[in-house]
Amino acid sequence: MISAEIIAIGSELLLGGRTDTNSVFLSEMLANLGIEVGFKTVVGDNVSHICQALVVASRRVDIVVVSGGLGPTIDDLTRDSVARVTGRPLRRRDRVVKAIKERFDRQRREITTNQLRQAQLPMGADCLTNSVGTAPGFSMKWGKCRLICLPGVSHEARQMFTETVQPLLSREGYVRPPLRMRTIHTFGLLEGHVDEAIADLVPKSGRFRLGLLASPMGVSVSLTEIHPEHEKNKENRLFFDNNKVELEVLVKSISTRLYPHVYGYDHEKMEEVVGNRLRDSGLSISVAESCTGGLIGHRITQVAGSSGYFERGVVCYSNHAKTSLLGVSPAILRRYGAVSAQVARRMAEGVREGSGTALGLSVTGIAGPLGGTAAKPVGLVYVGLSTPNKTFIREFRFHGDRGIVKLRSSQGALDVVRRHVCGLPMGDA
Ligand code: ATP
Ligand code: MG
C-alpha cells in the first residue's frame, strides 16, 4: 500500500476562520490513484514548525503533499523550510522568472521584486507548472519519500495536481488501482441505530473498512476497500475483481436493512434525488417556507434543470405573510400557533392551490435559540405535503443550533417529498 500525508500550511487555518478544504479534494484524488492518506497535518506560517512537520511526515509515508505558502509574501515560507530541512539551497530558475514576467506583462501589471521569490526553488527540485496562477509548485525525492509542494489557492492546487502531479506519480510507479469506496446516505435514523442494524454485515477483519458519518443531512455509511500489500500480482488482481462483486453485495444488503431511510449513494444529494424523481414522474412542486427562510428553494434550484419541476418558493416568515400570501386563516394561527400541524397543512395546501402545482410543500418550526416553550421546544418542526389526493403532515424534533435545525428541516422536508414520489411509507420523525 502506498501511503501519503497531506500538510496544509497557513496560520489562517489554525485561527478558526478558514478550513483546510484542500486536503479534502487532495485525499479524494489520491484515493483515486490507489494511494491511502494516512495523516493530515495543519501547520502555521512558521519555518521551524513546518520543518518539524516535514521531518515527521517524511519518516512515516511514501508521499508528502504540501499545500500553501508558495506565494511571494513574507508569510509564504514553504520554499525556505524545504530548503532548510532537505539541505538543498534555493536557486533562482530563469525559466520561472521568464514565465512570471510574461504573466505580469499579459495582465499589464507592474512586477514587484518579491514576486521573483517565487522563482527560487530548492536545488534539484522539479518545477511544477502553474497554468492558472503565478507560483509554481515543485517536487523532489527526499530520502525514501516523494515531496510535492502545491499552492494554497484551491483551484491552482487542484489544477496542478491533475495536470502535473498525477502524471508524475504515474511515471514514478506510485499509482495503484483506485481504492473502491461506496457511500450510502440515510435520513431519519440515529447513528447508533444504523450501527446496530448493520454491524453484523461487515466483518472487522474483512476487506472493507466501515465508517459512519453523522451530519445534519443524516447518517452516511461508507465502505472503503483495504488494499493488500502486494497489489500487482495475478492473485491480487483476482482479489480486486472479487472485491468489486463483494462490495456491491454489501451495499445491497446494507440498503435493505436501512430501507426506507436510504435516499442516495456516493455523491448524490437529497435535492438531486428528489429532483430526478419529480422530473421522471412529471410532477411539479411549489414550496412555502417559514423557519427555513428559503433554504429549501435554494437547494432545489441548485440542481440544473430544476425549472422543469420547481414553480415557486414563498418565504412566509410572519403570520401576516402566511395569511396574505397563502390564505392561512388568522383564526387557525391564533388557535394552534404558527408552529403547528394545522398551519403546516394550510400552508402546503395554500401554496399548491395558488401555484397550480401537483405538490405543495411547507415547513414551519422553531429554529431557536429563542422562541421555544415546554410544549413547543426549539427544534419542533412541521412539514406539510399537499398532493391531489391527500395532505401529509410530519412532525420532527430536531437537535442543534439554529443553522443545524434549518438544515435538518430542509432535509426532512425534501425527504417527505422523496418518500411520496417513491411510494414509500412516510415513517416516524
Ligand atoms: P498565494 O500566491 O496566493 O500567496 P500560496 O501558495 O502562498 O498562494 P497561501 O498564501 O498559503 O498560498 O494561501 C492562499 C489562499 O488559499 C489563502 O486565501 C488561503 O487561506 C487559502 N488556502 C491556503 N491553504 C488552504 C487549504 N489547505 N484549504 C483551503 N484554503 C487554503
Ligand atoms: Mg501566500
HEC states along 56-83? HHHHHCCEEEEECCCCCCCCCCHHHHHH
pLDDT at residue 30 greater than cutoff 90: yes
Query: Nearest residue CA, atom 18 of ligand 1?
Result: 153
Give the mean pLDDT of 387-412: 97
How many Å lie between the centroid of ligand 1 and the Cα of residue 71?
Answer: 8
- Could you tell me what percent of the chain has a pLDDT over 90? 82
pLDDT of residue 179: 79
80 CB burial (10 A radius; 0-12, 13-18, 19+): middle
pLDDT at position 1 is 83
- Whether 67 is in the pocket of ligand 1, judged by its Cβ within 6 Å, is yes
Among 352, 349, 364, 343, smallest CA distance to 296 is for: 364
pLDDT mean over 293-317: 98
| pLDDT value for 12 | 95
| Ligand closest to the CA atom of residue 135 | 1
User: Predicted confidence band at 113 (pLDDT cuts at 50, 70, 90)?
Assistant: confident
Q: Give the ligand at the shortest distance from the Cα of 10.
A: 1
**Whether residue 21 has its Cβ less than 6 Å from ligand 1:** yes
Q: In this structure, which residue's CA is closest to atom 28 in ligand 1?
A: 20
At 228, is the pLDDT very low, low, confident or very high (cuts 50, 70, 90)? low
Kindly give the distance from the C-alpha atom of residue 131 to the centroid of ligand 1, in angstroms, as a whole number. 16
User: In ligand 1, which atom is closest to the CA atom of 133?
Assistant: 2
Q: How far apart are CA 236 and CA 231, in angstroms?
A: 6
Residues 313 and 286 sit within 8 Å (Cβ to Cβ): yes
> Which residue, 293, 263, 272, 283, is CA-closest to 363?
293
Q: Between 8 and 16, name the one with better pLDDT.
A: 8
Task: List the shell of residues around ion ligand 2, using CB closer than 5 Å.
Answer: 71, 76
Ligand 1 pocket mutation pick from 153, 154, 156, 158 by most atoms within 8 angstroms of CB: 153
Ligand 2 center to 326 CA (angstroms)? 52
Mean pLDDT of 13-31: 95
Give the DSSP letter of residue 228: P
| CA 16 – ligand 1 centroid, Å | 15
Tell me which ligand sits closest to the C-alpha of residue 45.
Answer: 1
Cell of 286: 411549489
Distance CA 40, CA 7 (A): 6
Q: What is the pLDDT of residue 244?
A: 81
Region for residue 258 given its phi and psi (left: phi exceeds 0; alpha: psi -120 to 50; beta: otherwise): alpha
Q: Is the CB of 154 under 6 A from ligand 1?
A: yes
State in Å: Cα 77 to ligand 2 middle. 9
DSSP class of 38: E
Across 34-48, 101-115, 247-261, least confident range: 101-115
CA–CA distance, 90 with 77 (Å, rounded to integer): 12
The helix/strand/coil state of 89 is coil
> How many Å lie between the centroid of ligand 2 and the Cα of residue 118?
10
Cβ of 136 below 6 Å from ligand 1 = no
pLDDT of residue 193 exceeding 70 = yes
Name the residue with the closest Cα to ligand 1, atom 3: 71
* Averaged pLDDT for residues 394-415: 97
3-state DSSP helix/strand/coil % of the chain, to nearest 5: 45, 25, 35
Phi/psi for 49 (5° steps) reads: -70, -40
Cα dihedral 34, 39, 42, 43 in deg (nearest 10):
-110
Nearest atom in ligand 1 to 118's CA: 2
Q: Which residue's CA is minimally distant from atom 22 of ligand 1?
A: 152
Taken as a whole, the chain contains a residue count of 429
Q: Which residue has the cell 400552508?
A: 347
Residue 3's closest CA among 227, 324, 303? 227
The pLDDT score that the predictor gives to residue 429 is: 46
Sign, CA dihedral 242-245-248-249, equals negative
Spacing, Cα 13 to ligand 2 middle (Å):
12
Q: Is the CB of 153 under 6 A from ligand 1?
A: yes
Task: Confirm whether pTM is higher than 0.85.
Answer: no
Contact 284, 357 (CB under 8 A): yes
Task: Give pLDDT, residue 230.
Answer: 46
Instruction: Go through 273-291 and write b for each residue having 16 or more CB atoms within 10 A of its CB, e for each that does not.
Output: bbbbbbeeeebbbbbbbbb
Ligand with the closest atom to the CA of 133: 1
Grouping H, G, I as helix, E, B as strand and the rest as coil, residue 278 is helix
Cα–Cα distance, 216 to 214 (Å, whole number): 7
CB of 18 closer than 6 angstroms to any ligand 1 atom: yes
Per-residue pLDDT, averaged over 312-337, amounts to 98
In this structure, the residue with its CA closest to atom 15 of ligand 1 is 153
- Higher confidence at residue 268 or residue 203? 268
pLDDT at position 232 over 70: no
- pLDDT number for residue 242: 73
Q: How far apart (Å, rounded) are the C-alpha atoms in residues 88 and 86?
A: 5
Minimal CA–CA distance to 269: which of 335, 207, 215?
Answer: 215
pLDDT tens per residue, range 301-312: 999 999 999 999
User: Nearest ligand, CA of residue 25?
Assistant: 1
Instruction: Kindly report the average pLDDT of the chain as a whole number.
Output: 93
| Rounded Cα distance, 273 and 279, in Å | 10
Distance CA(366)–CA(384), nearest Å, equals 15
pLDDT at 319 over 90: yes
**pLDDT for residue 385:** 98
In the predicted structure, residue 206 carries a pLDDT above the cut 90: no
Q: Scanning the structure block, which residue is given the C-alpha cell 391527500?
A: 390
